[in-house]
Structure 1
Amino acid sequence: MNTTYKIGFSFILALLVIPAQAADINAGKNRSSACMGCHGGNGVSNSSLFPSLAGQSRAYLETQLKHFRSGERSNATMNAMAKDLKDADIQNLAAYYSGLPGKSAGGDASLARAGKDKAAMCMGCHGNELQGNGQFPKLAGQHPEYISKQLADFKNGSRKAGQMNAIAKTLSEDDIKALAEYAGSLKTP
């Protein structure tokens, strides 16, 4: 075995053996104090203006915080909050919030029934109970008003996410309201 090969092989082996730094849930909890005013003390927002973070996937939360930090996703408050977060902070916050139990926000029962019939188009990415799926957020239990606003923003292009922009353009205002009420009415794990 030549020396270059041995060094390269040793380096690759070392990368495989060295464990990745695990997220620190307690550090995430401590860091979350700045988030509580909007997203609630247990990650369940009390305001329809802000999403609940409890039970969202780590992958989704990490991606969104990085997008806010870089300015790729635009929201003046979140851009300011995320601009100084280090990768470890983002990982810790995501680990903390992903481990919290969610809560149903409720929803208008008759509109929720109509929304259930329309939700099949959402399930491929967001899961069969809209519980989220990796990089795709949990919609179950979110405030219907928040979901409605996000869908309207995707529809008018002020929020960018290729496939969501295309899907939202096919939705009427009534469709958006019904889907939002259905998502809000779902129980979350």
Structure 2
Amino acid sequence: MSWAFPAINGSLPAEEGGPRNLPGSTKAYTPQQIDDLSNPPDWYPDEHAPAPQIVQHGHAGALACGACHLMSGEGHPESAGLTGFTAEYIIRQMADFKSGARKDAARMNGIAKELSDEETRQAGEWFATLKPTVWTKVMEAATVPKTFVGQGRMRFALAAGGTEPIGNRIITLPQDQSKATKRDPHSGFIAYVPPGSIAKGEALIKGGSGKTIACNICHGDSLKGLGNVPRLAGLHPIYVARQLFLFRDGTRNGGDAQLMKKPVAQLTDEDIVAIAAYVGSLSPVK
């Protein structure tokens, strides 16, 4: 399951300096500015309400929220999409990161400890105003491009090309590598999943085989969320798989996680990949 927890093992060629642009944006940022995790680019500021300071500008050990989750809230595969979540749910997760009940040593545990309660509240309420979009295209494939994990723990296709069997993995790549590395909030991802996994996942989430509990009981009939229970529809499949692994092994152990212990207890790695593939393939748009 190491594929679900990407670790850097390569790098993209160094870019020349100079401003970069995106279609429809009046903004320009250099590569150094784009990669400044305390001051991420906001390519389309008119598409959202004014952001709280902590979303757009980090401090001390707290990176700006918009660096990883983007100013659209859709996030990159190594982080999480936050659109469609309630403020209460986001605030509760931050409390679990701060206490250590939910673990992400690479980023969120340290960030949560640096934030004040007011900063957390402001960020949660702001992200809760953002609407989800279709951000990841899920495709079944027996073979996938050979890849490496580069900057930002994002996966990229090897320049030399080549393919390999997908195995029991979810391989997520940018739809447009150049735009993704610019933190373009309009350019999403492709998640390659094993053949047959979407149909298998659909059967499982409906309670098939008696291995788990039907997900719609808590997450809503369309899996777009129900009250403070988060949406599953349209989330990064690799993120969903990562969380199911963490629920199963007890690493994610906050209050909400207690409700997930029984649903994941009998799931195999293959089941988890299938469930993640299916829910990721659903439209999150209400």
TM interval, short-chain normalised: 0.7 to 0.9
The structure 1 residue matched to 2:244, chosen from 151, 156, 159, is: 151
* Aligned-partner Cα distance in 2 for 1:115–1:103: 22
Aligned to 2:78: 49
Is the contact between residue 106 and residue 186 of structure 1 (CA under 8 Å) also seen in structure 2? no
Unaligned runs of 5+ in 2: 1-48, 57-63, 141-195, 207-213
Is the contact between residue 58 and residue 95 of structure 1 (CA under 8 Å) also seen in structure 2? yes
* Structure number with higher relative contact order (C-alpha < 8 Å, ≥ 6 residues apart): 1
Aligned to 1:8: none
Q: Secondary structure at the match of 1:108?
A: strand
Aligned to 2:232: 139
Using the TM superposition, give the Cα deviation of residue 37 of structure 1 relative to its aligned residue in structure 2, in angstroms.
2.3
Aligned to 1:100: 130
Is the contact between residue 63 and residue 135 of structure 1 (CA under 8 Å) also seen in structure 2? no
Aligned to 1:176: 272
Unaligned runs of 5+ in 1: 1-24
CA gap of 1:154–1:72, structure 2 versus 1, over 3 A, is closer
TM-score scaled by length of structure 2: 0.53
Number of aligned residue pairs: give it: 163
Choose 109-118 or 168-177, whichever is displaced more: 109-118
Using the TM superposition, give the Cα deviation of residue 182 of structure 1 relative to its aligned residue in structure 2, in angstroms.
1.1
Is the contact between residue 54 and residue 102 of structure 1 (CA under 8 Å) also seen in structure 2? yes
* Aligned-partner Cα distance in 2 for 1:82–1:156: 22
Q: Is 1:129 paired with 2:222?
A: yes
Equivalences for residues 56-71 of structure 1 within 5 A: 56-71=85-100
Sequence identity of aligned pairs in percent? 33
Aligned to 1:40: 70
Using the TM superposition, give the Cα deviation of residue 70 of structure 1 relative to its aligned residue in structure 2, in angstroms.
2.7
Is the contact between residue 43 and residue 54 of structure 1 (CA under 8 Å) also seen in structure 2? yes
Q: How large is the RMSD of aligned CA atoms in angstroms?
A: 1.9
Greater strand content: 2
Q: Is 1:162 paired with 2:258?
A: yes
CA gap of 1:57–1:85, structure 2 versus 1, over 3 A, is same
Using the TM superposition, give the Cα deviation of residue 167 of structure 1 relative to its aligned residue in structure 2, in angstroms.
1.4
Using the TM superposition, give the Cα deviation of residue 103 of structure 1 relative to its aligned residue in structure 2, in angstroms.
2.4
Greater helix content: 1
Using the TM superposition, give the Cα deviation of residue 131 of structure 1 relative to its aligned residue in structure 2, in angstroms.
1.2
* Aligned-partner Cα distance in 1 for 2:231–2:223: 6
Using the TM superposition, give the Cα deviation of residue 71 of structure 1 relative to its aligned residue in structure 2, in angstroms.
2.6
Using the TM superposition, give the Cα deviation of residue 65 of structure 1 relative to its aligned residue in structure 2, in angstroms.
1.1
TM-score scaled by length of structure 1: 0.77
